[in-house]
Structure 1
Amino acid sequence: MNQKRTEFAVGLFILVGILAILYLAIQIGSSRILGSDSKVVEARFSNIGGLNEGSNIMIAGVKVGVVGNIRLDMENLVAMVELKLNNDLVIYDDAIASIKTNGLIGDKYVALDPGGGGFELEEGEPIVDTESAVDIESLISRFAFGSLEEGE
């Protein structure tokens, strides 16, 4: 009888441990199993320059969302970037989305100016005022080769 009680206690302990790990994985992984607390808008960029899915979206240095799906609009040949934003964030039709770099060679992120006038963007509507990523390599090579041409 004592052995069955011990086996039951061990089984219960393992079950509680597995449930705790599953709960933490859902919370840390921002899983959508239990529902979504974000809204999605799109932004059109002519060049995303290394921006990846999962990159941060920031307003004044504060994280307000993550980059979702990135796809190419074959009709207009622009990158369509899905922005998953905090649900309580209000974005207007005069919003500006810019691709920035953390440091000189850091990760890319989207800097968002939510705007303030006009109409509120509904979920799925695009942000049309965007600033594409700056290509550091071309700037450096233009500076280096431009200096050589001037010196000759």
Structure 2
Amino acid sequence: MKAQRLAEIATGAVVIAVAVFFLAYAVVQGGRATAAGGGLVLTAAFDRVDGLNNGADVRIGGVRVGSVTEMRIDPRTFLAEITLNVRSDLQLPRDSSAEIQSESLLGGRYIAIVPGGAEQVLASGGRITDTQGSISLESLLGRFIFSVTQMNPGGEAAPAPR
């Protein structure tokens, strides 16, 4: 009976150790560990950040180069202020732009940085001023439905072709 109890405790300890290992691996590989350490800290203001979360990817040309570290509302402008941490070896031109894009129709969101052509580069603490917020799928569908109903103001169904 005592041997069985010791075997159960040992098995539980192994399961917990494996779970802790996978959690640590996920945090390190997920980019959250690098956000706290070095890197270039940039800010950008967006009118909409629907679906964007802390830890979301920052990409250039589809390649992950950093992550979102903080999101807050500016109480004066009511814009979403996003703090980004990107690799310090990047020399991003000062006129670079940032836009929120979807990974897929149902997937998460990320920030895509499009490098500009200026000779001056963004330093840590710099600001990306040219931004484009997220596009709401619900808003697009609402506009489409509204435009379709405006084309048929009587609300009657169009006659079926013969």
Distance 1:29 1:50, change over 3 A: closer
- For 1:42-53, list aligned pairs within 5 A: 42-53=43-54
Maintained 8 Å contact 1:90/1:114: no
Alignment partners' CA distance in 2, 1:127 and 1:93: 7
SS in 2 for 1:75: coil
Amino acid aligned to 1:43: A
Distance 1:29 1:143, change over 3 A: closer
Distance 1:27 1:135, change over 3 A: closer
Alignment correspondent of 2:61:
60
Task: Quote the offset at 1:29 in angstroms.
Answer: 5.9
Maintained 8 Å contact 1:94/1:118: no
Alignment partners' CA distance in 2, 1:73 and 1:92: 25
Alignment correspondent of 1:3:
none
Between Structure 1 and Structure 2, the one with more strand by share is: 1
Identity %: 31
Alignment partners' CA distance in 2, 1:149 and 1:109: 35
Alignment correspondent of 2:8:
none
Task: Quote the offset at 1:120 in angstroms.
Answer: 1.0
- Structure 2: gaps spanning 5 or more residues: 1-16, 154-162
Maintained 8 Å contact 1:92/1:116: yes
Alignment correspondent of 2:41:
40
Moved over 4 A (4+): 24-27
Give CA-to-partner distance per residue, 1:17-76, whole Å, 9 cap, x none.
89xx59x647446536xx824221001111112211111111111111111100111112
Q: What's the C-alpha RMSD, in Å, of the aligned pairs?
A: 2.4
Query: Size of the alignment, in residue pairs?
Result: 132
Alignment correspondent of 2:75:
74
Alignment partners' CA distance in 2, 1:56 and 1:29: 9
**TM-score normalized with structure 1 length:** 0.76
Alignment partners' CA distance in 1, 2:86 and 2:138: 31
**TM-score normalized with structure 2 length:** 0.72
Distance 1:38 1:145, change over 3 A: same
